[in-house]
Amino acid sequence: MKMRLRFLSTLLVLALGGCVAVRSEKIAPVAPSASTESSAAPASILDRLYFGRTIPGGGEVSDAQWAAFLAEVVTPRFPAGLTAWHADGQWRNATGTITREPCTVLELIHPDDGALDRAVAEIIAEYRRRFGQESVLRVRARVDAQFQG
């Protein structure tokens, strides 16, 4: 038994050591490209919004209701473009209960501009009002975004 345990321990150390070596060989620092270095484009803001689709008191925001919200509220504020996708989410509420619900993720990339920041806040406020939501998760980051081609 002792010999078997020593053999398995040695095998595990060798296996894990091999994983580390492979990983370190595959990950290498990426040098910035010439186009990135010489780019004078200002940094952009990425706003990613998570809209829960479960309506408090019963029901769900339908695809038709989401499409109307997108057309009436989001697109007029961000006509240059956006990306949205459906996802399954979960979160822990104030009482500690895990809640699972479908959601729609909306991603907006835009210049760092106070008017656009207010536009995102207006989108969140209207969704909360229209569908009785407690909150909308907003993830905001400064990014380097460029169309390549």
Domain boundary assignment for the chain? 2-33, 41-143
**What's the CATH number for 41-143?**
3.30.70.120
- pTM of the shown model: 0.71
- Cβ atoms of 132 and 65 within 8 Å: the answer is no
pLDDT at 97 over 80: yes
Cα torsion 31, 35, 40, 42 to 10°: value is -70
pLDDT at 120 over 90: yes
First-to-final CA distance of the chain: 63
Amino acid symbol at 107: E
pLDDT at 112 over 50: yes
Q: pLDDT value at position 26?
A: 39
| Cα gap 115→58, rounded to integer Å | 35
Residue 33 in tokens: 């490209």
Q: What is the mean pLDDT of the chain?
A: 80
Amino acid symbol at 105: V
Mean pLDDT for the stretch of residues 79-86: 97
| Cα gap 114→62, rounded to integer Å | 32
Mean pLDDT for the stretch of residues 114-141: 97
pLDDT-derived band at 4, boundaries 50, 70, 90: very low
